[in-house]
Amino acid sequence: MTLELSESGAVFVLLSILLIPLAIAGLALIHTGLGRSRNAGHMMMSCLCVVGVAAGTYFICGFAWQGVSGGTAHIARLGGRDWNWLAAQPAFFRGVEMNGSPASLTVWMQMLSVVLAAFIPLGSAAERWRLGPLCASAALLAGVTYPVFAHWVWGGGWLAQLGVSYGLGHGFVDAGGSATIQTVGGLTALAMAWIMGPRRGKYTSEGMPTAIPGHHAVFVLFGCLMAWAGWLGLNSAGAALFTGMAPRRAVLVALNTTLAAGSAALMTVLVTRVRFGKPDASLAANGWVAGLAASSAGCAFVPPAAAALIGLIAGLLVPFAIETLELRLSIDDPGGAISVHAIGGIWGILALGLFERFPAPVLNTADDPARLTSLSGAGQGLAQVIGVATLIGFVLPLTYGLNWLLNRWLPHRVSQEGERQGLDMHELGAGAYPDFMTHTDEFFQR
Amino acid sequence: MTLELSESGAVFVLLSILLIPLAIAGLALIHTGLGRSRNAGHMMMSCLCVVGVAAGTYFICGFAWQGVSGGTAHIARLGGRDWNWLAAQPAFFRGVEMNGSPASLTVWMQMLSVVLAAFIPLGSAAERWRLGPLCASAALLAGVTYPVFAHWVWGGGWLAQLGVSYGLGHGFVDAGGSATIQTVGGLTALAMAWIMGPRRGKYTSEGMPTAIPGHHAVFVLFGCLMAWAGWLGLNSAGAALFTGMAPRRAVLVALNTTLAAGSAALMTVLVTRVRFGKPDASLAANGWVAGLAASSAGCAFVPPAAAALIGLIAGLLVPFAIETLELRLSIDDPGGAISVHAIGGIWGILALGLFERFPAPVLNTADDPARLTSLSGAGQGLAQVIGVATLIGFVLPLTYGLNWLLNRWLPHRVSQEGERQGLDMHELGAGAYPDFMTHTDEFFQR
Amino acid sequence: MTLELSESGAVFVLLSILLIPLAIAGLALIHTGLGRSRNAGHMMMSCLCVVGVAAGTYFICGFAWQGVSGGTAHIARLGGRDWNWLAAQPAFFRGVEMNGSPASLTVWMQMLSVVLAAFIPLGSAAERWRLGPLCASAALLAGVTYPVFAHWVWGGGWLAQLGVSYGLGHGFVDAGGSATIQTVGGLTALAMAWIMGPRRGKYTSEGMPTAIPGHHAVFVLFGCLMAWAGWLGLNSAGAALFTGMAPRRAVLVALNTTLAAGSAALMTVLVTRVRFGKPDASLAANGWVAGLAASSAGCAFVPPAAAALIGLIAGLLVPFAIETLELRLSIDDPGGAISVHAIGGIWGILALGLFERFPAPVLNTADDPARLTSLSGAGQGLAQVIGVATLIGFVLPLTYGLNWLLNRWLPHRVSQEGERQGLDMHELGAGAYPDFMTHTDEFFQR
């Protein structure tokens, strides 16, 4: 089925997309607040540069490889079946008429989604990532990793066609980007944390982690509220563009997104209260964003109670995931980006399989209405699992490999001296808060 | 009359509602900035938790009791007339199809409105309210107080029907929530300030108040700008959903909201300049928000000049109200929430009666067009006064009683030691700004 | 041609305008962060007051002189041709029905645009401008300077008619306000910097500038992201209202705005990296906003690659412009407002002449379709140059003269003692960050 948008439908999608910069701004604040004051200006600068780099790269070549459902694509013939593996569109958005057509709206939304995905690794590699390499890494994400996987899901690729080709439900479904944005970004965050290693002073010589608190709880929590506003637009626009949801049903998307975020934060508050005696503000923020990340895949296809449940489980997973990474796997993720976006995102992908209640044919499969009556939930669940397996089995090695190669040519990590001094002074030559007196020497001894 | 929305009308309302999280984020920043730095993280955490609790409670049972105009309701027969006093909808939003219908848009807008109302008491009880009880109190507001009164105004209840039943103008009219959101929240703020008593050190042993300045003027004033953006959506959506305003007339709503806020802030600047020699930034922020609160009721039904006048008077009332509460009544309201939202809101309700110029039948009464020709302004004014009397005579005792009972079971107030230490350390175990050096000992001696 | 908007078109424009407050909030944060902490509260207060003053003045008389295309106007007969020089509308928006008509949307959008323009001089005259005179100056801008020039461009005045009257392309075209908002504001910023002179301690007795770093890089860079969100609405609404762009084509506007901002920031990062050894965060922020300012004029009429190029050149111009003003011309502009908004804006105006590719007749000239076939790019370029000449030759002297006269009656500049103490304490009686310890004595010795 090709997506048809009425004029008011196009207006709705266009304006929903205009809210996504709020999610971008919110994530920037969260990352900044979760780091120390000596890296605050550098983190915001990194975010600003990544907007330019990721959007620019996506413009140059990213979209050409992602494409749109039904567009020109490279197709391989494997085992008697077509395997749609890469789009073949012209570069620089040529060939897309900018007139509010679904293709043009996809271009515009994707340019922002790719920025959002490219922001996520900034959280896990924070406080030690140099500006040049992080821009190069964002270009790799926006130019290669993201478009390839997004083609498979949103561009009519083989994951989207699992339903039509192999009878697995509606194929892999991801309305708002739990997979394409959150998990792709989160797995890249994991790759970066591996490549970079932990921050100086994070682990004692015995391997015990020490707490390095973020410097600004207000930025972090205010960023959560901004991210929520942006996510409402993100999920609505994604559901309309990539699953063919009627714009008027966005009211369900909005309710679900809100319930998922709120219940996730409350659950994290409860878990940290029970385990540590006091609720933890940074973890609550992580829980909130994990709820948002988990809400995206199924936002248009689950009833509100299921959305609340998805949030509760996301909020339960996050503190344990963070603890496991930090204690067991010795992975230093200052922003919690891996747990929030990869674990939250994967949970959201799978939750769609558990709770989906499709109200109407979705875009991927609607050209085959006869088949829809015989759909089983198990098939949909399997499609979602295949998507997750692809993320872990293909996207993670790909993004690790690309960034590992980049590291050989352009080392990601700042010098020891620079890390101690803080990236603000070292890389930008100026602190973010020159008028304020700070406890800068606290972590220097280690 | 039942509300009919064209597809573009539904899109308009849906997208307007998507701006309300900006008002929520703005209020959170205002509350945080008006408190001291040792409570900043706690205030933002409270806000995040209240989003989850209020939205969740409203989902579980709140909406069931608020309902929509024309929906199922409990009706008592009193003195020969029907008295529509409570909706009788199923819980968990069941029975509302999430398809952009007016009912579904109401559900979505109300879930955010109830969060906004539940934020207001956080301002007056700031710096001494424990996280657990404040979540419970938000649940009471979202589950009982708000839905009952909102049913009367927006759900087809008896206040809405004052026009049809008793010939009082169009019945009680409140387009954007001066009564249902602002005054309900503001009166709960008053109840909480009474129940909690003033902060340690606020009053000397002779009963003289001391100034405890907020810690972050930039957050407060930036929060005002964010709140404005959110209010534009709030007033537009409310006017369309609850009075049947044609979406295209939202341009008047936007102009009026802006003029009210701007003129209110300027008036407060002028008043504080004349009285204290220098304009006061915190009070100017309070004036601005009071202008917003007062603008809501009549935003679609007054000409721009009247909106500016409503703002000027709101900006005049606020500093005097704040002074009266603090000096005469010994009520300690750190965020000025009572004066801003209750006084500002009540003024907005009454101002509609003074300045209303209804351009077209509003929703409550439009099924009786013949009657409309004989409407007198006095009847409308009386309906508005009855609404205010109900707020003071019924909602205030109700919200006081509920929170008083809660206090017996779960004390609202933090321990003396916790208050001295700051809620960030005491309840969350971490300061909001660990890298910055602060003057923390300043108020400890008292 | 008169603009016709479908219902969904009107909804689109109305909602796009609702994003402009985000640009206003973003600029406020940028100005605040680029100043020192002792002036932070004062800057935010100035912004809040300017919203009230500029919107109010525009309501009282500004719009009456700006008017709308095709409305009543004063027309002089010069050299055998009509010269439409001033609108003649009633004051207080009377005569404009607030029903979503293009005229009413223009009123609403312009009320926010004039606030944006009035914010710009706050950047160049920061840290030394008294609150009273800056409000009066904002009133002059909103009541005189802005409406007169905006009438010429957007109200059917002689610049708009250069195409019809003299065959110069489509006449002067400025979709989103590179001229009317950015350059008018930026030239007023220049006038104010001249009138006020540099800050104490900015120049040594030998005339060498010293660096006075802004106090909050996070506010500045977060403000950039907010400004971007607002600009998406600003450019979309302007292009639809003032050039007749079909709302669905706003997707091109959004892409172009984003590419211009991102590429401008990257170019500034590169330039400062090459010249100073390290990228500069404040200048990168200035570059970003200059990219936004330059994007406005042609946002709907250039292909994305040209938008990226416009941004790159804006990002190249800004650091050199700032250096030239500071070093060669001894103009102290703490916020970089002159370079960002005037230089960026003028570049945007001219860039439209260089890169324009009009997809359809624009509003100014569409009543003459026969003529459109014979249009040459040179004519359009000349029209743009005439606009720039008018800005420099007429608007700059006008705004300088008005503010110079105002200075005689109400001196703009704060006393030496007040400047040293900081405007927060001096004018508002309270610091913005009373809980935080600051290095306040740093600049006192000079």
Instruction: Give the distance from residue A212's alpha carbon to the nearest chain C alpha carbon, in angstroms.
Output: 20
**Which residues lie below 8 Å from residue B347, measured CB to CB, with a gap of 6+?**
B290, B294, B310, B313, B314, B317
What pLDDT digit, counting tens, does each position of B183-222 carry? 999 999 999 999 999 999 999 999 899 999 999 999 999 9
Q: Residue B358: what pLDDT? A: 75
- Compare CB distances from B213 to C53, C105, C430 and report the shortest one's residue: C430
Instruction: Give the distance from residue B5's alpha carbon to the nearest chain C alpha carbon, in angstroms.
Output: 12
Question: Has residue B333 been placed in a domain?
Answer: yes
Q: Residue B445: what pLDDT? A: 41
Distance of CA B367 to the CA centre of its chain: 30
Interchain CB distance below 8 Å, A48 and C224 = yes
Q: Residue C209: what pLDDT? A: 94
Residue with the larger pLDDT of the pair C370 and C420: C420
Kindly tell me if the per-residue pLDDT of A312 is higher than 60: yes
Question: Has residue C439 been placed in a domain?
Answer: no
Question: Has residue A433 been placed in a domain?
Answer: no
Q: Residue A60: what pLDDT? A: 96
Q: Which of A184, A175, A69 is nearest to A116 (CA)?
A: A184
Percent helix, percent strand, percent coil in chain A, to nearest 5: 65, 5, 30
Q: Residue C60: what pLDDT? A: 96
Band the pLDDT of C445: cuts 50, 70, 90: very low
- Give me B282's structure tokens: 């915190």
Average pLDDT over residues B22-46: 97
Interchain CB distance below 8 Å, C280 and A429 = yes
- CB-CB contact of A118 with A124 (8 Å): no
Q: Which of C5, C30, C13 is nearest to C235 (CA)?
A: C13
Band the pLDDT of A33: cuts 50, 70, 90: very high
- Compare CB distances from B56 to A15, A233, A263 and report the shortest one's residue: A263
Helix axes B344-355, B377-390, angle to 10 degrees: 160
The phi and psi torsions of A100 (rounded to 5 degrees) equal 80, 5
What pLDDT digit, counting tens, does each position of C37-58 carry? 999 999 999 999 999 999 999 9
Band the pLDDT of A444: cuts 50, 70, 90: very low
Span of A321-335, B166-180, C107-121, C428-442 with lowest mean pLDDT = C428-442
What pLDDT digit, counting tens, does each position of B289-347 carry? 999 999 999 999 999 999 999 999 999 999 999 999 999 999 999 999 999 999 999 99
Q: Which of B289, B335, B336 is nearest to B31 (CA)?
A: B335
What gap in Å lies between CA B436 and CA C34, rounded to an integer?
19
What gap in Å lies between CA A175 and CA A243, rounded to an integer?
6
Question: Has residue A438 been placed in a domain?
Answer: no
The phi and psi torsions of B115 (rounded to 5 degrees) equal -65, -45
Q: Residue B110: what pLDDT? A: 97
Average pLDDT over residues A109-127: 97
What gap in Å lies between CA A116 and CA C20, rounded to an integer?
22
**Number of domains, chain A:** 1
Interchain CB distance below 8 Å, B217 and C40 = yes
DSSP letter (8 states) at residue B439: -
Region of C327 on the Ramachandran plot (φ > 0 left; ψ -120 to 50 alpha; else beta): alpha
What pLDDT digit, counting tens, does each position of A292-307 carry? 999 999 999 999 999 9
Kindly tell me if the per-residue pLDDT of B364 is higher than 90: no
- CB-CB contact of B28 with B223 (8 Å): yes
DSSP letter (8 states) at residue B414: P
Band the pLDDT of C373: cuts 50, 70, 90: low
pTM of the entire structure? Answer: 0.96
**Which residues lie below 8 Å from residue C80, measured CB to CB, with a gap of 6+?**
none
- CB-CB contact of C342 with C189 (8 Å): yes
Kindly tell me if the per-residue pLDDT of A398 is higher than 70: yes
Q: Residue B339: what pLDDT? A: 97
Q: Which of C393, C374, C397 is nearest to C385 (CA)?
A: C393
Select the residue from A29, A226, A248, A439 to test the B interface by mutation, using most B Cβ atoms within 10 A.
A248
Question: Has residue C438 been placed in a domain?
Answer: no
Kindly tell me if the per-residue pLDDT of A143 is higher than 50: yes
Band the pLDDT of A367: cuts 50, 70, 90: low
Contact list in A for residue C304 (CB cut-off 8 A) is 59, 92-93
Per the prediction, chain A carries an average pLDDT of 93
What gap in Å lies between CA C98 and CA C105, rounded to an integer?
8
Band the pLDDT of B366: cuts 50, 70, 90: low
- CB-CB contact of C29 with C239 (8 Å): no
Contact list in B for residue C19 (CB cut-off 8 A) is 229
Residue with the larger pLDDT of the pair B308 and A164: B308
DSSP letter (8 states) at residue A438: B
Q: Which of C108, C101, C253, B16 is nearest to B8 (CA)?
A: B16
Residue with the larger pLDDT of the pair A275 and B1: A275
What gap in Å lies between CA A75 and CA A151, rounded to an integer?
12
A413, HSE (Cβ side, Cα atoms, 13 Å): 17
Residue B401's CATH number: 1.10.3430.10
Average pLDDT over residues A24-44: 97
Per the prediction, chain C carries an average pLDDT of 93
- For chain A, give the percent of residues with pLDDT over 70: 95
Instruction: Give the distance from residue A58's alpha carbon to the nearest chain B alpha carbon, in angstroms.
Output: 27
- For chain C, give the percent of residues with pLDDT over 70: 95
Question: Has residue B316 been placed in a domain?
Answer: yes
Look up the domain containing B210 and give its range. Answer: 7-428
**Which residues lie below 8 Å from residue A79, measured CB to CB, with a gap of 6+?**
none
What gap in Å lies between CA A326 and CA B225, rounded to an integer?
39
What gap in Å lies between CA B186 and CA B388, rounded to an integer?
13
What gap in Å lies between CA B200 and CA C270, rounded to an integer?
54
Contact list in A for residue B111 (CB cut-off 8 A) is 255, 258
- CB-CB contact of B321 with B343 (8 Å): yes
Indicate if the alpha-carbon torsion angle A66, A68, A72, A74 is positive or negative: positive
Interchain CB distance below 8 Å, A432 and C258 = no
Contact list in B for residue A431 (CB cut-off 8 A) is none
Kindly tell me if the per-residue pLDDT of C215 is higher than 80: yes
Question: Has residue C2 been placed in a domain?
Answer: no
Interchain CB distance below 8 Å, A430 and C281 = yes
Interchain CB distance below 8 Å, B281 and C434 = no
Instruction: Give the distance from residue A303's alpha carbon to the nearest chain B alpha carbon, in angstroms.
Output: 10
What gap in Å lies between CA C279 and CA C288, rounded to an integer?
13
Question: Has residue B438 been placed in a domain?
Answer: no
| CB neighbours of residue C436 within 10 Å | 21
Contact list in A for residue B15 (CB cut-off 8 A) is 12, 15-16
Average pLDDT over residues B14-37: 97
Band the pLDDT of C357: cuts 50, 70, 90: confident
Three-state secondary structure call for residue C85: strand
Average pLDDT over residues B261-270: 98
Average pLDDT over residues A397-426: 96
Select the residue from C34, C47, C98, C105 to test the B interface by mutation, using most B Cβ atoms within 10 A.
C98
Task: List A83's β-bridge partners, or say none.
Answer: A76
Residue keyed to tokens 């709206």: A105
- For chain B, give the percent of residues with pLDDT over 90: 82
All partners of chain A with 3 or more CB pairs under 8 angstroms: B, C
In degrees, to the nearest 5, what angle opens at C-alpha C327 toward C-alphas C324 and C332? 90
Tell me what ipTM this predicted complex has: 0.95
Q: Residue C339: what pLDDT? A: 97
Instruction: Give the distance from residue A393's alpha carbon to the nearest chain B alpha carbon, in angstroms.
Output: 36
What gap in Å lies between CA A278 and CA B428, rounded to an integer?
5
Span of A53-67, B10-24, C84-98 with lowest mean pLDDT = C84-98
What gap in Å lies between CA A98 and CA A91, rounded to an integer?
15
Q: Residue B443: what pLDDT? A: 46
Q: Residue C443: what pLDDT? A: 46
Q: Which of C283, C286, C291 is nearest to C260 (CA)?
A: C291
Span of A241-255, B431-445, C108-122 with lowest mean pLDDT = B431-445
Band the pLDDT of B165: cuts 50, 70, 90: confident
